[in-house]
Copies of this chain bind each other. A is one copy, B any other.
Amino acid sequence: MSQYHAKVFVTLKPSILDPQGRTVERALAHLEHANVSGVRVGKLIELTLHGDRAQVEAQLQDITTNVLSNPIMEDARWELEEHQ
């Protein structure tokens, strides 16, 4: 049984409006960063899992899709690395 460190990246689908991102973009424009566009704010969730790799991968896919993201509005992907 090993320990794994996972990162889950959750972003709004491109077709979904992102008011928080728009607000950041406008703030940046006022701060003389007018060359910045397309700001989107998503989530990065870090977690630690114990178990066998195959079981942990299946579990992480389940958690990512069913708990940490809303598949209607969000895209989600994960990375897993064994913790030394």
Contacts and interface: CB of A to CB of B under 8 A. Distances in A.
Give the interface residue-count category, chain A: 20 to 34
A47 B42 contact: no
Given A28-B63, A28-B67, A63-B28, A46 B40 contact: yes
B43 A47 contact: no
Contact of A41 (B31, B37, B45): B45
Contact of A37 (B31, B37, B47): B47
Contacts of A41: 43-45
Contact of A35 (B33, B36, B50): B50
Interface of A: 9-11, 21, 24-25, 27-28, 31, 33, 35-51, 59, 63, 67-68
